Structure 1
Amino acid sequence: MTLLAVERIKLFTTRSPWWCALVTLVLTIGFSALIVGNSGDGEPSATVASTQFGYGFGTAVIMVLAALSVTTEYRFGTMRTTFQAIPRRGRALLSKAVVVALLGLVIGEVSAFGSWAVGILLKPEAELALNSAADWVNVAGVGVVYALAAVLAVAVGILLRHSAGAIALLLIYALAVEGLVQLIPGIGNDIHQWMPFNVAEKFLSGDGASNAVDGIAAGAPLSDSPLSQAWALAYFAGVVLVLLAVAIGVAKKRDA
């Protein structure tokens, strides 16, 4: 608990978490207002899934926040002080990952339910009630995805130790690489099915039960992952934890 408290203090005494949290909320809720507000009274109408249309932009900002939580320590040399005070580097880095993940979880839930609430205010006549498990996962699951994405970004930050490099890699991968993989002739679609953020999308959207009105799709395209929602979450979490384990192992063997 002491390590978690130390990491919490270090995180919240800098400005970047506050700014990133604000940007995440503005992007996700603002984008939800834009999409839902411009949905027609007929088809396509607003759905629970369409209120979460902007969560991907929030994911990118959360990863920036998480990467900075690590790389700024390397930049200013405080990571060396941390490792001198806590020789067991794995515990220190794991504590940082937990704190950042919890922050990502909170921001994700606030942004997701905030987006959903804005959707209800703008389109009170639309079918936006959380009446099924699929609806609840589509909204509440955003916080889980943000938490795991934050841990992934911490791992990348540990491996690269450079703010610009880590942020560039994370943003390029999340916003471009997975989509471009589909353009590879022959095997592109097969590879895309197993890309981490595509699988995370499958966890949120499932088979599209919260993404349709009267059986007609009205939201974003669904993930092409063959996994069920539960296995999709397990797969995404597994990829993140393996990457974190590799990053901690590397950090133990090199100079701070």
Structure 2
Amino acid sequence: MTLLAVERIKLFSTRSPYWCTALALVLGVGLTAIIAASTENGQLSIGVTQFGSSQLALAVVLVMSALAVTTEYRFSTIRATFLAVPNRTSALVAKTVVVAFIAGVLGEIIAFASWGMAKLLSPASDLAINTGPEWRHVAGVGLLYAVGAVLAIAVGILVRQTAGAVAILLVWNMLLEGLIGIIPKAGVKIQAWLPFQNANHFLALPSGADAGEQVTAGIDFKLSQWGSLGYFAGIAIALLVVALIVAKRRDA
């Protein structure tokens, strides 16, 4: 518990979490407000309310999580941390737990604030959360952010430089996995096993009564939507384990 408290204090002693939190809220809730205000009253759907939270706000959370690690390497405060806590794994795991928890809470706030904003601006729209898929689509944002934070921290530990870690995460999430889909024949098959594509699949709503939960955005996923979340989490944890091993073997 002491390590968790120390990591919480260290995290909030810098400005980046505050700026990133504010930016994520603006992008997530603000984009929903713009869409709701420009859509005819009564025409909004549950899926539209989370457009900003599942894309742009997630990118900001990934950056915030990476900064929690790379900032320490940049200013060499990680050396003091490792001197105080010789067990590097314990220190880095504590940091991961704190950042993932904060990211998860932030995700829930953004998701339900976006939903509430949509209801406020479009009261005639049917935005009641009644079914399991609808609850997963909204409440699942926090789970997605928490897992994404673990993955971002792992990248931060491996790369150690802010610019490099941020570039990798943003290109990976927002560009690379989408571009793979244009590879003839094999692209869509590869996408079915990419981490962020599975993350999107987890949040996706069925497009029709007979659509099921396996096909999203033209990709034939082999896992259920909860299975996709587990797969995404497995990749994040595996990458974190690799990062912890590397951190133990190299100089701070």
TM-score, normalization by structure 1: 0.92
Q: 2:18 corresponds to which letter in structure 1?
A: W
* Structure 2 equivalent of residue 12 of structure 1: 12
Report the Cα distance in structure 2 between the residues aligned to 1:24 and 1:148, rounded to whole angstroms.
16
Report the Cα distance in structure 2 between the residues aligned to 1:141 and 1:206, rounded to whole angstroms.
12
Report the alpha carbon displacement of residue 206 of structure 1 after superposing the two structures with TM.
4.5
Is the aligned partner of 1:243 residue 2:239?
yes
Instruction: State the superposition RMSD in angstroms.
Output: 1.7
What per-residue deviation string (whole Å, max 9, x for no partner) do you get for residues 11-40 of structure 1? 011110000000000000011112222223
* Structure 1 equivalent of residue 49 of structure 2: 51
The equivalences for 1:165-176 within 5 A come to: 165-176=164-175
Contact 1:101–1:148 (Cα < 8 Å) also in 2: yes
Which stretches of structure 1, 4 residues or longer, exceed 6 Å deviation after superposition? none
* Structure 1 equivalent of residue 21 of structure 2: 21
Q: 2:37 corresponds to which letter in structure 1?
A: G
* Structure 1 equivalent of residue 176 of structure 2: 177
Q: 2:45 corresponds to which letter in structure 1?
A: T
| Long gaps (5+) in structure 2 | none
- Residues 41, 206 of structure 1: alpha-carbon distance in 2 compared, 3 angstrom cutoff: closer
Report the Cα distance in structure 1 between the residues aligned to 2:167 and 2:100, rounded to whole angstroms.
20
- Residues 235, 215 of structure 1: alpha-carbon distance in 2 compared, 3 angstrom cutoff: closer
Q: 1:79 corresponds to which letter in structure 2?
A: I
Report the Cα distance in structure 1 between the residues aligned to 2:36 and 2:177, rounded to whole angstroms.
26
Report the Cα distance in structure 2 between the residues aligned to 1:227 and 1:33, rounded to whole angstroms.
33
Report the Cα distance in structure 2 between the residues aligned to 1:102 and 1:223, rounded to whole angstroms.
32
Is the aligned partner of 1:160 residue 2:159?
yes
Task: Name the count of aligned residue pairs.
Answer: 246
Report the Cα distance in structure 1 between the residues aligned to 2:204 and 2:190, rounded to whole angstroms.
20
Determine what percentage of the aligned residue pairs are the same residue. 50
Q: 1:253 corresponds to which letter in structure 2?
A: R
* Structure 2 equivalent of residue 106 of structure 1: 105
| Long gaps (5+) in structure 1 | none
Q: 2:12 corresponds to which letter in structure 1?
A: F
Secondary structure at 2:39 match in 1: coil
Q: 1:47 corresponds to which letter in structure 2?
A: S
